[in-house]
Amino acid sequence: MKNQFKLALLDLDGTLWRDGQVIPGAPAFVERLREQGTQPVFFTNNSSRTPKEVVAALERCGIGAHPEEVCTSAQAAAHALMARIPAGSTVAYVGLNGLEEALRAAGFTPARAQGGNLHGASPDDAAAAVIGMDQNVTYHDLAIITRIAYRLGWFVLTNSDARYPVADGTFIPGNGSLGALVEYASGVRPIVTGKPDSSFVEFALLRYGVKKEEAVIIGDNIYTDVLAGAQAGVKTIHVLSGVSFPDATDLPQADETVESVANIFRQEPL
């Protein structure tokens, strides 16, 4: 595929790095985008890290980036709330720095569910409840979120990933599994803001001021990255450097499939 794009929405894990190691060719690929006039955006379902923390992780991989180039599912969650509740509202959440900072930046008052209560607020004051990944979340934290979701009739989930891959080739439960507990107990369905939901892509297009034909999504996961593009009408390039689903059928089709980002938009053959 020829580079005809103003914006490249880049997945991180399995696309630019894997198990904390840079994917060979990824730093040169990001530089190539810049030289070709394409704005790289680090487009991640991970709601735990702040944009500055993502930049620091990219820099450890030799990839130069700015915080404004990071677009997270936590920021999309905060944006989704802006259309639904007044500025300044108390927002109950579980999650880490990235979600707390995104809620604050959007003008809300984040209140962490902690040990059966909300930190610094009463659960009755919460105008919304949001779930982002936190491996230290407890039963009592989720109980508070569940009760608020039940009272409001809705809650927000930063992404619906059932599992996260870990280095030994197995997995741990992902954010979607936390959301499933709350959904099951409350009987309320979440508003999901991460990939593959097309709202995340639309948020990024709006934020960076480009049309869908001017953007491309590049990622390793057919069920998040490629499906997000298919649902939003944005072209996709699937890289084989991350997760694979050998038994999968009925796969969403990428516009192009390559070994890794090292192969993308090169002007000379490898």
Please give the positions annotated as active site. Answer: 11, 13
Q: Is 11 within any annotated ligand binding site?
A: yes
Choose among 264, 236, 202: nearest CA to 33: 264
Q: Is 168 within any annotated ligand binding site?
A: no
Looking at the DSSP assignment, which residues form a beta bridge with residue 164? 172
Which residue's CB is nearer to Mg ion, number 193 or number 221? 221
Pairing of strands 163-165, 171-173: antiparallel
Contact set with Mg ion (CB under 5 A) = 11, 13-14, 220-221, 242
Contact 73, 204 (CB under 8 A): no
| Nearest residue to Mg ion on Cβ basis | 14
In angstroms, what is the minimal distance from the CB of 88 to Mg ion?
Answer: 35
Secondary structure of the chain: what % helix, strand, coil (to 5)?
Answer: 35, 25, 40
Q: Is 220 within any annotated ligand binding site?
A: yes
In angstroms, what is the minimal distance from the CB of 25 to Mg ion?
Answer: 16
Sequence-ordered alpha helix ranges (H) in the chain: 26-35, 51-60, 73-82, 97-105, 139-152, 175-186, 198-208, 227-232
Which residue's CB is nearer to Mg ion, number 110 or number 165? 165
What residues contact 196, with CB distance under 8 A and at least 6 apart? 223, 224, 225, 227, 228, 231
Q: Is 195 within any annotated ligand binding site?
A: yes
In angstroms, what is the minimal distance from the CB of 16 to Mg ion?
Answer: 9
CA distance 79 to 252: 27
CA distance 139 to 44: 27
Which residue's CB is nearer to Mg ion, number 110 or number 242? 242
CA distance 242 to 12: 10
CA distance 261 to 125: 46
Contact 79, 203 (CB under 8 A): yes
CA distance 200 to 210: 14
Which residue's CB is nearer to Mg ion, number 89 or number 257? 257
In angstroms, what is the minimal distance from the CB of 224 to Mg ion?
Answer: 7
Q: Which two tokens stand for residue 16?
A: 């630019």
Which residue's CB is nearer to Mg ion, number 16 or number 210? 16
In angstroms, what is the minimal distance from the CB of 77 to Mg ion?
Answer: 19
Binding-site residue numbers for Mg(2+) are: 11, 13, 220
Binding site for substrate, by residue number, is 195
